[in-house]
Chains A and B, each alone.
Chain A
Amino acid sequence: AQKITQTQPGMFVQEKEAVTLDCTYDTSDPSYGLFWYKQPSSGEMIFLIYQGSYDQQNATEGRYSLNFQKARKSANLVISASQLGDSAMYFCAMREVSFGNEKLTFGTGTRLTIIP
């Protein structure tokens, strides 16, 4: 069963507008972490933002914020005032812990294109 679901394969947004990238997740573990990464065409995975399952406040990092709705199991990324350099693939990921071992499980990603 897919544990991270990103339902938007691609999005086009006008420069300077805000954009929301959707992510839902599935886990029975009460302790987990949610991540968003940006992957430009060069290939490197750039960490954007992290939300722990017990964090009371939504995470924010500059223009990035995470809309964490625990009951709905959603962790949407909001980018305010989009810029041309935001054009990239965006991946939502969840940290899973099993028998003391931890790893990240990724969604299929959303390709964001910012239009000038």
Chain B
Amino acid sequence: DTGVSQDPRHKITKRGQNVTFRCDPISEHNRLYWYRQTLGQGPEFLTYFQNEAQLEKSRLLSDRFSAERPKGSFSTLEIQRTEQGDSAMYLCASSRGGGNGYTFGSGTRLTVV
């Protein structure tokens, strides 16, 4: 069990560029979550996968955001045409479901300049 890995740790991009983040969950966890955390706030739910199925998306997830989990293992979160308001920490978490075991990654800090 190596924990939840996120890559990259930091990303600086120019406004209008596309960015993609990767999350590798704990291998036996079938549930995967993406959260966004802006400065001074708690994490806000973005989307949730159970295996490869994306079961819930927040209204925060505009059309510029897309997430995939193609084989029920790792997941990617892509932001197209980035805006300054997208600057935030993007956190990934995984769980088995139904219990108390949500494990978070260290996050990807995105800065849009």
Contact = CB atoms under 8 A, between A and B. Distances in A.
A91 B42 contact: yes
Interface residues of A, number: 24
* Chain B contact residues: helix, strand, loop or mixed: strand
Interface of A: 4, 33, 35, 37, 42-47, 50, 52, 91, 93, 98, 101-109
B57 to A, nearest CB: 11
Interface residues of B, number: 25
B42 A107 contact: yes
Interface in B85-108: 89, 91, 93, 97-98, 100, 102-107
A105 B106 CA distance: 18
A72 to B, nearest CB: 21
Contact of B109 (A43, A93, A108): A43
